[in-house]
Structure 1
């Protein structure tokens, strides 16, 4: 009888151990950011979106009118395609994207944006990425020229009365306290640091980020579109999430602003986790269940989660699971033409709740294509 009891106890213990192991395996599989079902991998999706971008002529915000200059959605998508090409070691893709750039040194030179606004300066991230992949100095010169102009004295028709004050305090004169800026400004300055290892560039970006954090982040970790616009707009918050993640990826831990930025980043990520839908997406207004599912903000939040998990800033199981779920759902919004659907159109700030709910839902808008490439790159890192 005694032996029988021992055998039963051993059987129960073994079963529980096996069951627990299965649970741990299942949990890890749900948070897996390396293995993907066929057709859903970052390499497959990234190649599709990057090739589609490269084959598409210069476009405006929603691909309906030819632009006079390169607009920031194209700059962001170009940057994403290049980083994807580099991370996937696809040298042929890099060459194609480089060929797309070549006319800007010649017949399309007038399409290079004048660097007198955050939306125009972000273009500099593209030649800086080309420099890092090709080592051709002409790309470096162009990119650094834009990065330095951003921190130069105020000049041009876009100067406002606050510009000189910001400049005198060591911020860029282009400061305007819209959350969009925290990708537009920090992206090019972080790129300049990566290309040169010159500390001044990353220090600029970090100081600017802390100023925006102190002015715009709310107690719940999210951000108003601007101080006078009390709404948690999805893509606006997305720019902030990506901006912090991209900056922290290169910011030395001994930088005096590192801890403050990491604190702001983690508070935001924790809040975003609560607002992720059951399917894995986020909404046009992050905290409003009556607002519609929006893909560009979702892509940006997904990038921020992936980057946090990959760098060990965020809990691997909790945020890895959320990131995997988001990626797998997000890519179902890509149509047969490799255009993502349900992208909020270009949006200025406005203190009007209904204005944000009524924004047009675009298909193939580069505001939405770019985050797909950022996510694909981050998953391969």
Structure 2
């Protein structure tokens, strides 16, 4: 009863967030290979949105959400799926859950096909890291923090679904190698990317959304995968150090700057939502000290101020590549995006749990 009352308190805003996510249209001419605004495309922003919708369905039991997800995948499969890469892998995480729930053999076959590609064909960097290959760009020798959320969560999920420890161990290896090369040892935050060609962190950007993929992704990864205690303890300690620094850099509004350590960069809502979601969930699950709950709640209030009466999340930066110039990050356009809507959705559902 307590949980249902808490969900009810956010029901109106959640319904609006979902409706607007489904109806988003580009506000300008997109230059990317596959559109990343409309939910009718298959790319990483849509994948993030799908997983948020599935998580909401699992929390509420609303079968209409599950049915809409099935319809979405059936339409995309009928159209033909895009080429496999790190970013287009993202929707497969949700499909793996639907494959298990529905018993649809086509879904399971696709999941097996795509995880096999990751394991056997996806380009690798030195030390076996997943090279951040995207549509029309190989990004030779590069590790990005985005990869953990977009692909590695799916690999871990397939390890559980198929009871295949090889996949679980691969997911562990990817977390380890990405943390090895992307962690800023001075702050505990993460650089956007690293290249083995030249051996540098490009602009040394402590980019907010890239960092938030770890904060939000790790709490879900710990639910998805059966990890050795030493591994989970290591990953949680990395989260704690990151969140400690985030608490020092949080703006008075509750949000964070798109370059976390650069107050002259704008405040960015999707990363702030993901930070708040990850922090509140980690506190609730006992991964973080309860003192950080105040940080998450402050961010929650800040995010709520960025959601208009129609449910559109504002202050969200468009898709962001890895560049060697900090001004590139400062100048990324802001517009409503599926991941802005979906990270706010995940946050609101987590807020319900906190209140319950």
Q: TM-score range by the shorter chain?
A: 0.7 to 0.9
Residue in 1 aligned with 2:90? 122
Deviations 1:164-206 (CA, angstroms, capped at 9, x unpaired): x65xx55446573111112112221233234334333222111
Tell me, yes or no, if structure 1 residue 87 matches structure 2 residue 64.
no
CA distance in 2, matches of 1:62, 1:274: 32
Structure 1 unaligned residues grouped into runs of 5+: 1-32
Residue in 2 aligned with 1:288? 262
Task: Summarize the Cα distance change of 1:51–1:202 in structure 2 as closer, same or farther, 3 Å threshold.
Answer: farther
CA distance in 2, matches of 1:331, 1:132: 34
CA distance in 1, matches of 2:82, 2:248: 39
Task: Give the number of the structure whose alpha-carbon radius of gyration is greater.
Answer: 1
Tell me, yes or no, if structure 1 residue 273 matches structure 2 residue 247.
yes
Residue in 2 aligned with 1:50? 18
The question of whether the paired residues in 2 share the 8 Å contact of 1:210 and 1:260 is answered with no
Question: How high is the TM-score relative to the length of structure 1?
Answer: 0.77
Tell me, yes or no, if structure 1 residue 215 matches structure 2 residue 181.
yes
CA distance in 1, matches of 2:293, 2:5: 12
Residue in 1 aligned with 2:74? 102
CA RMSD of aligned residues (A): 2.8
Deviation at 1:343, TM superposition (A): 0.7
Alignment of 1:28-177 (within 5 A): 41=10, 43-54=11-22, 60-63=35-38, 70-106=42-78, 108=79, 110=80, 112-115=81-84, 117-154=85-122, 159=123, 163=124, 166=126, 169=127, 171-172=129-130, 176-177=142-143
Residue in 2 aligned with 1:237? 211
The question of whether the paired residues in 1 share the 8 Å contact of 2:16 and 2:310 is answered with no
Task: Summarize the Cα distance change of 1:377–1:152 in structure 2 as closer, same or farther, 3 Å threshold.
Answer: farther
CA distance in 2, matches of 1:304, 1:190: 18
Residue in 2 aligned with 1:323? 296
Residue in 2 aligned with 1:196? 162
Residue in 2 aligned with 1:225? 192
Task: Summarize the Cα distance change of 1:196–1:307 in structure 2 as closer, same or farther, 3 Å threshold.
Answer: farther
Tell me, yes or no, if structure 1 residue 178 matches structure 2 residue 144.
yes
CA distance in 2, matches of 1:57, 1:228: 32
Structure 2 unaligned residues grouped into runs of 5+: 27-33, 133-140, 194-200
The question of whether the paired residues in 2 share the 8 Å contact of 1:152 and 1:172 is answered with no
The question of whether the paired residues in 2 share the 8 Å contact of 1:113 and 1:121 is answered with no
Secondary structure of the structure 2 residue equivalent to 1:204: helix
Tell me, yes or no, if structure 1 residue 187 matches structure 2 residue 187.
no
Deviation at 1:119, TM superposition (A): 0.7
CA distance in 1, matches of 2:282, 2:161: 23
Question: How high is the TM-score relative to the length of structure 2?
Answer: 0.82
Deviations 1:19-66 (CA, angstroms, capped at 9, x unpaired): xxxxxxxxxxxxxx9986986x2x443333223334568982244xx9
Deviation at 1:118, TM superposition (A): 0.7
Tell me, yes or no, if structure 1 residue 350 matches structure 2 residue 330.
no
Deviation at 1:365, TM superposition (A): 1.2
CA distance in 1, matches of 2:129, 2:301: 39
Secondary structure of the structure 2 residue equivalent to 1:177: strand
Deviation at 1:355, TM superposition (A): 1.6
The question of whether the paired residues in 1 share the 8 Å contact of 2:42 and 2:76 is answered with no
CA distance in 1, matches of 2:93, 2:160: 10
The question of whether the paired residues in 1 share the 8 Å contact of 2:267 and 2:315 is answered with yes
CA distance in 1, matches of 2:94, 2:227: 26
CA distance in 2, matches of 1:289, 1:105: 44
CA distance in 2, matches of 1:299, 1:208: 25
